[in-house]
């Protein structure tokens, strides 16, 4: 998978993603990250890429031409016209299922804005997806682009090791994961739950499933509505005071 990032701060992208799991995937060639400096495409002798907004108002707006030239150069080099994701708080909120959808692409382009925004005409011209990472405003699009690239990358075969497997994770079956414990058996007076030391696999699985259900009910009850729950899961949740009918139950 190849990620192109159109940005005014390419070092932020290469430094951030060049570390840890994504860094290892880049070194192995499993993913490629091509950070493109929009400023290199400015035709202005001072390399300006922004200007005052027509109609007045605070802040500066990124001009369309450098972004367009950077994008055209990228498409010429790659020989394709990949999806262009504009990271913006005005976009649809990024989710795990969006990450799964994007992970099917061979190449993706992320456009990172700065200042007050980007000239609307370049967005109309090249952007295919408007995506936000949440209802808060950051100083630029680089961190959101890195968040999305990280979430997409770990779904690509070969990026995670077997023991980092994407199989079991927080949103598996729309349930939060059970708690984890390692040595020592006792830490500041708190013991690891006995069942985990018992070696009884069926009991351990049952305990983990119940912990997942309990945690999801306490922290993210909204997820339960679409979780594939068995009769036994529902029976257990009812003992915890859960009374909303699950979708699977409703459809029976
Ligand atoms: N740019 C600034 N804030 C953002 C956010 N929350 N999501 C995506 N892009 C952004």
Dump pLDDT digits (tens) for 122-178.
999 999 999 999 999 999 999 999 999 999 999 999 999 877 765 556 677 889 999
Of the candidates 244, 199, 236, 62, which has an alpha carbon nearest to the alpha carbon of residue 141?
A: 62
SS3 (DSSP) at 152: helix
Region of 86 on the Ramachandran plot (φ > 0 left; ψ -120 to 50 alpha; else beta): beta
Dump pLDDT digits (tens) for 57-111.
999 999 999 999 999 999 999 999 999 999 999 999 999 999 999 999 999 999 9
Cis status of the peptide bond prior to 237, with omega within 30 of 0: no
Cβ count near 211 (within 10 Å): 16
CA of 117 to the centre of ligand 1 (A): 11
CA of 1 to the centre of ligand 1 (A): 23
Q: pTM for the full model?
A: 0.92
CA of 101 to the centre of ligand 1 (A): 20
Pocket test of ligand 1: the residue of 132, 139, 140, 151 to mutate, having most ligand atoms within 8 Å of its CB, is: 132
Closest atom of ligand 1 to 141 CA is: 1
Ligand 1 binding pocket (C-beta < 6 A) is: 87-89, 132-134, 136-138, 141, 144
Q: How far apart are CA 53 and CA 50, in angstroms?
A: 9
Contact between 42 and 147 (Cβ < 8 Å) = no
Dump pLDDT digits (tens) for 22-43.
999 999 999 999 999 999 999 9
CA of 55 to the centre of ligand 1 (A): 24
């Amino acid at each position: 998978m190849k990620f192109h990032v159109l940005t005014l701060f390419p070092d932020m992208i290469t430094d951030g993603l060049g570390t840890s799991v994504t860094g290892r995937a880049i070194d192995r060639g499993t993913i490629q990250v091509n950070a493109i400096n929009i400023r290199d495409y400015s035709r202005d002798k001072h390399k300006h890429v922004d200007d005052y907004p027509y109609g007045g108002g605070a802040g500066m707006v990124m001009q369309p031409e450098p972004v367009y030239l950077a994008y055209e150069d990228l498409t010429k080099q790659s020989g394709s016209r990949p999806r262009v994701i504009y990271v913006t708080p005005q976009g649809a909120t990024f989710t795990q299922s969006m990450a799964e959808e994007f992970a099917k692409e061979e190449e993706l382009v992320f456009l990172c804005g700065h200042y007050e925004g980007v000239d609307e005409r370049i967005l109309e011209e090249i952007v295919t997806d408007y995506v936000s990472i949440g209802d808060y405003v950051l100083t630029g699009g680089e961190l959101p682009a890195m968040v999305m690239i990280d979430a997409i990358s770990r779904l690509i075969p070969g990026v995670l090791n077997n023991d980092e497997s994407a199989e079991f994770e927080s949103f598996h079956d729309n349930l939060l994961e059970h708690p984890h414990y390692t040595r020592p058996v006792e830490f500041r007076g708190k013991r690891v739950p006995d069942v985990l030391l018992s070696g009884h696999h069926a009991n351990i699985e049952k305990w983990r499933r119940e912990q997942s259900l309990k945690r999801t009910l306490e922290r993210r009850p909204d997820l339960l509505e679409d979780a594939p729950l068995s009769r036994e899961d529902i029976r257990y949740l009812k003992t915890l005071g859960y009374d909303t009918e699950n979708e699977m139950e409703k459809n029976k």
